[in-house]
Chain A
């Protein structure tokens, strides 16, 4: 009897496991021309959700047979983990308006994304909307698996109240050169105006370098990405200067080695923060803030400084059964009108060419955003290469070891990371 029971249990389990594993995705040939109701996922940013809800209402009024259901991306440590899990489970939404370009190669490897340029006119649409910057978002095989949607160009936000408390001029902050930035930071911490001059996360997650080293390196190098033409670029004089600058901040305890649990800038624990235009909405009622570009060793003018885009794309996922509808929704949601509505609702920069010239009235009414709009034309993306996450993780490990905790000289760490990343790129 037990043997029979055991055999029955085993058969049931294997059948269930096989059924679960064998769940097929939609047939691409049918799905490409299919129309019907779709689901769209948005980030949990309140302003984005407000915009998305209105956008969906507008679409649903005009398309009662192809209705959109809008939801927030399922909760996870990061959106990318939740999206990866949904790809594997075959439960992702048709469209996700918050896809990190760094994760696109991994999602592509998982067969989770639909090439957008399979739709007629898609390539032209993407290039006309975004301009030459769109090429940064092509996969290595030349396809567009993401539509560059919006950016949050990284700049240095500062708290004017804390600057005043430290005896600094908040209207003319000295933050342009490394030397000025360090002197200002010392005054802030030594005066006790704030425990930290700036407080980026010291964590070892692969994406944390996008908010400390990467914008510094892009600014210092005149717009170099981490990897170009299959070769790491950061083991260079510009990379070493940027790393040494941050090492000085950590060594002099102007930046804490602990990760703050919460928003250090919002809670007045740090005088500065690396942030995009989302911060204007977030802090407009709580902080009297100013914004400047990332510093460079020679203090070059703002008009010559590039930064990290912190861009998020819109992508179509392979679980989508009604892809013709999804493509139309994608175009509707990134139309000139909806981009304007998104800009007004969130303050984040749609990935459009000549943004300030496209929405002149809005920028005239909201001058605080003009600095960001100008910076948005000079942004650099994460490299769109296979093994992207491995590349960033390798870099971050070297960064925390050397720059944050001082267990290795930054120059040696950059050299080692460059060598390791070259191996990773060759392996992929």
Chain B
């Protein structure tokens, strides 16, 4: 027997009767305010608006400007030319094999990390939502890696996946050669799994919150119709937390595309031979280490567009009706 996918109603407000608008005639006829935001509101949002402007908008605009000029950072007061170079920096970015490799690496990373994150966190959240012994302990345990400093976690993974590490010792002759972190094929998947594990606690919390709004009556109805646990999970839970899945997927894509600490620390700066380099790591290397902020700025703009497109795509796919 098949159970159709059911939309969660949760705590949604009671809809108005069909054919009748929810707002009252009084509200409809009230003249529009000249300014939609009241003064106290403007005051309250202004600190954050200022923060956004200073920390995001201005740097983004400056980055865009730099990306179209031959530019380098100088001492204050120094006079230097920053000639307009049009798309030259972008040409350099798209013809750089390390940059192209880094985008390929990120594609591999996202292909492994995002589905793994979504599936694992949803399954774990469902398990932790059930009545389990030591449920609070498990909830905290999954959250610990998320709030632990990356440097400390990286040390643990180096202990596990280093050439002389625990995993290779357990695998014996089956251990990969070259070892995990210096293997051009395995380095990026190891990082993808590492990041999925590290972030899992946060996404489990997101799903746990979403699960609270899935109506228990739906599970009861499914059970009455003969659905087992797996069928209930697929037909009630998965569609019920679809907005959370969109959030998790988009957030995982954004954090994944901005990957830096893990290749920087775990694989010694994107090694082996750039096989785990990420675009942000390349930005840092070119912009800071090698003194080419114009190239790094162009790469940054490309990365922003890449993330926006991927996020919109993910949103489109996850919000699609089942």
Contacts and interface: CB of A to CB of B under 8 A. Distances in A.
Interface of A: 1-2, 5-6, 9-10, 12-14, 16-17, 21-25, 81, 84, 87-90, 106, 109-112, 195, 201-206, 256-259, 261, 318-319, 389-390, 393, 397, 400-401, 404-405, 407
B268 interface: yes
Interface in B20-46: 35, 37, 39, 42, 46
Given A17-B58, A84-B73, A257-B163, 18 more contacts: A1-B39, A2-B37, A17-B62, A22-B76, A87-B74, A88-B74, A90-B76, A203-B269, A203-B271, A204-B270, A206-B289, A257-B179, A257-B272, A259-B268, A261-B155, A318-B78, A389-B290, A400-B273
A404 B270 CA distance: 14
Contact of B271 (A13, A195, A202, A389): A202
A10 B46 CA distance: 11
B77 A261 contact: no
Contacts of A87: 73-75
Given A81-B289, A401-B273, A405-B273, A110 B72 contact: yes
A272 B98 CA distance: 33
Contacts, number: 130
B111 interface: no
B181 A111 contact: no
B291 interface: yes
B45 to A, nearest CB: 9
A111 B164 contact: no
A405 B184 contact: yes
24 contacts: A2-B37, A6-B49, A13-B53, A13-B57, A13-B58, A17-B58, A22-B76, A25-B78, A81-B288, A84-B73, A88-B75, A88-B76, A109-B74, A110-B73, A112-B75, A195-B164, A202-B268, A203-B269, A205-B289, A258-B179, A258-B181, A258-B268, A389-B290, A393-B290
A404 B182 CA distance: 10
A109 B78 CA distance: 10
Contacts of A1: 35, 37, 39, 42
A401 B101 CA distance: 14
A13 B80 CA distance: 24
B77 to A, nearest CB: 4
Interface string B88-104: 00000000001000000
A9 B184 CA distance: 49
A2 B74 CA distance: 37
Interface of B is mostly: loop
B162 interface: yes
B223 interface: no
B35 A24 contact: no
A23 B78 CA distance: 10
Interface in B195-222: none
Nearest to B270: A204
Given A1-B35, A88-B75, A109 B268 contact: no
* Interface size class, chain B: 35 or more
Given A16-B54, A204-B271, A109 B76 contact: no
Nearest to A3: B35
Interface string B276-303: 0000000000001111000000000000
Given A203-B271, A405-B182, A9 B49 contact: yes
Interface of B: 35, 37, 39, 42, 46, 49-50, 53-54, 57-58, 62, 72-78, 80, 98, 155, 158, 162-164, 178-179, 181-182, 184, 268-274, 288-291
A201 to B, nearest CB: 8
B73 A12 contact: no
A318 B74 CA distance: 11
A397 B58 CA distance: 35
A405 to B, nearest CB: 5
A257 B273 contact: no
Contacts of B163: 256-258
Given A1-B39, A259-B268, A90 B75 contact: yes
Contact of B74 (A111, A204, A400): A111
A109 B291 contact: yes
A104 B155 CA distance: 34
A206 B46 CA distance: 45
Contacts of B77: 23-25, 90
Contacts of A6: 49
A325 B77 CA distance: 22
B288 A10 contact: no
A13 B50 contact: yes
List the 7 closest pairs (A to B, CB-CB), nearest first: A111-B78, A90-B76, A25-B77, A24-B77, A23-B76, A259-B268, A88-B73
B50 A12 contact: yes
A205 B269 contact: yes
Nearest to B155: A261
A2 B158 CA distance: 52
Nearest to A400: B273
Contacts of A109: 72, 74, 291
A318 B270 CA distance: 34
A400 B182 CA distance: 11
B50 A400 contact: no
